[in-house]
Amino acid sequence: MTNRFSKNEIKMMAQKMDIEPSEGFFSRMKERCENHSEALACARESEKEVTMNKKLIALVSMVCVLIVLGVVIKSSGLLKHEAEKTDSVDTADTLIATPTYIHVERDRVVYDNTDDLMRNSDVFVLAEVKDVLSTHPTYDGDGRLTYIYTKYKLSVEKVLSGELKTDSIIVSQACGYDEKHGQNVLFSDMKPYTVGSKWLVFLYYDDSKETYWTTGDHTGRYIYKSEYDTFIDNNDLEALLRELKK
């Protein structure tokens, strides 16, 4: 008659060999081990199986971690690439120069309707910014910047109101680079002009500085949109002004 080991005896042997016995372990020991030497052999075999399983689990876990890291790194690279592409695009609704501007509050005249803009303007034109010409800073006795403006060259494509003798005009804006303090300053609520941008703009002429200025600061300038072409081509100023009011 064969004497097989009890479950408690098998468990004690497994604990001595630092093995965590599972139900499968107990079954194999009971079925295969008929004496003490066979029990030890079975325990060692089970220990090897457990060790191999642990190594396999560790290996699989490591592979999964590497795969996840690879996906994250690749995604980060794509996001960075997309961000770089976005930064390089100059959209019509966010026409601001690459540098950050320090905004300085200053009293300015603004208008809440196009009728007032028309009455206080010399011309109303569709024009494209062609070049940045010069910057003119003013400092007080202590060397502090008190004012700055930049002159731009604009090419006029259409005179919608008023008269012009040339299709190339100089328009100034209260902004610019302050070389003394190494900063960009903005004395206006208008974002700085960028070369290549196209605008519908109300202007008045300043004889003292020989330049045009935008009437009503930011309220007198509208980014050009293709849907305005019908009104512009038909010289329908009233319809265009109604469209701008929307």
- Integer angstrom CA distances of residue 231 from 101, 125, 225, 238: 35, 13, 11, 9
Lowest model confidence (mean pLDDT) among 79-83, 100-104, 234-238: 79-83
Adjacency order of strands within the sheet including 183-186: 101-103, 183-186, 175-178
Residue 139 has pLDDT above 50, yes or no: yes
What is the average pLDDT across 37-58? 60
pLDDT digits (tens, 9 = 90+) for 200-230: 999 999 999 999 999 999 999 999 999 999 9
Report d(CA 137, CA 189) in Å as an integer: 18
What pLDDT does residue 72 have? 47
Residue 132 and residue 114 in contact, taking contact as beta carbons nearer than 8 Å: no
Q: How many CB atoms within 10 Å of residue 32?
A: 13
CA proximity to 46, closest of 57, 38, 58, 34: 38
pLDDT digits (tens, 9 = 90+) for 140-150: 999 999 999 99
What pLDDT does residue 122 have? 97
Report d(CA 3, CA 63) in Å as an integer: 46
Which three-class secondary structure state does DSSP give residue 128?
strand
CA proximity to 228, closest of 202, 204, 203, 198: 198
CA proximity to 121, closest of 37, 26, 216, 194: 216
Residues carrying CATH 2.40.50.120, the chain: 101-245
What is the average pLDDT across 67-78? 51
Report d(CA 90, CA 92) in Å as an integer: 7
Instruction: Give the domain 101-245 fold.
Output: OB fold (Dihydrolipoamide Acetyltransferase, E2P) (2.40.50)
Task: Encode burial over 108-147: b for 16+ CB neighbours within 10 A, e otherwise.
Answer: eeebeebebbbeebbbbbbbebeebeeeebeeeeeeebee
What pLDDT does residue 51 have? 62
Residue 190 has pLDDT above 80, yes or no: yes
Q: 42: pLDDT confidence band, cut at 50, 70 and 90?
A: low
Tell me the whole-structure pTM to 2 decimals. Answer: 0.58
CA proximity to 166, closest of 181, 178, 152, 154: 154
